[in-house]
Amino acid sequence: MTRRPTAVSTPAVEDYLKTIYAHTEWQPEPITPSVLASRLGVAPSSVTEMVKKLAAAGLITHVPYGPLRLTRAGFLGASAVVRRHRLVETWLVREMGYAWDQVHDEAEVLEHALSDRLLEAIDERLGRPGADPHGDLIPAADGSLVRGPAILLADAAPGHAGTVLRISDRDPGILRDLAAESIGPGSALTVLEAGAVRLPGGRIRPLHPDAAASIWLTV
């Protein structure tokens, strides 16, 4: 069964842990307090206070004004929240008829309220999926997952051919635009000059820079 982060866990603590976890999921640089404040939409002073609480609880390590890193306990807590969030997103798409651009905000609420028993039932009902509708990997109950090499489409050289692994769900508008072109996890794309891609069948589709910075491909 998935375990809650700690006895001091609250929705706010879970949001902080999840955001720290997500920052380094697809790139190696640790998150700074200022970036964390921006991602969460809170004042820097609020981050300072919460960082003190997380450090005191043994969930993160940090030096003053330096980057934040999850401890083992923090990582397990964060992965538990991420697991709930992504299983809820998958459930909403598969079972409840939601589109993939509609599930993030719903999952933000439900991830804090879902019991471990219901989460296990959802996981079993869905056939224990390995990824959510956006291609984000769903951690196992023990926090483990296996991620292969990937490259951001915006960083791929012209001529690079790959399969879409993951698309950021931060911008619902980008998700809707990509869905209209039938681009999603599993789509085969070839990167062209000037920010365009070739789709299966030979169609060429220009991508907005924000879209190119939201898509990860196989290497």
Condensed to tens digits (0 to 9), the pLDDT of residues 103-122 reads 999 999 999 988 999 999 99
Query: Is the model's pLDDT at 4 over the cut of 80?
Result: no
Q: Please tell me the predicted confidence (pLDDT) of residue 15.
A: 94
Q: Please tell me the predicted confidence (pLDDT) of residue 7.
A: 44
Q: What are phi and psi of 11, to 5 degrees?
A: -55, -40
Tokens of 63: 């030096």
Mean pLDDT, residues 162-176 taken together: 93
Specify the range with the lowest mean pLDDT, choosing from 122-126, 157-161, 194-198.
194-198
Percent of the chain with pLDDT over 90: 81
Query: Is the model's pLDDT at 123 over the cut of 50?
Result: yes
Q: What residues are paired with 70 via a beta bridge?
A: 60
Query: Is the model's pLDDT at 68 over the cut of 90?
Result: yes
146 falls in which pLDDT band (50, 70, 90)?
confident
Mean pLDDT, residues 47-56 taken together: 94
Percent of the chain with pLDDT over 70: 96
Q: Please tell me the predicted confidence (pLDDT) of residue 33.
A: 93
Q: Please tell me the predicted confidence (pLDDT) of residue 200.
A: 81
Query: Is the model's pLDDT at 65 over the cut of 90?
Result: no
Tokens of 33: 């307090």
8 falls in which pLDDT band (50, 70, 90)?
low
Terminal CA-to-CA distance of the chain, rounded, Å?
A: 34
Beta strands, E only, the chain? 60-62, 68-70, 150-152, 161-167, 188-191, 196-198, 204-206, 215-218
Query: Is the model's pLDDT at 101 over the cut of 90?
Result: yes
Q: Please tell me the predicted confidence (pLDDT) of residue 201.
A: 83
Summarised one tens digit per residue, pLDDT across range 77-88 is: 999 999 999 999
Q: Please tell me the predicted confidence (pLDDT) of residue 12.
A: 93
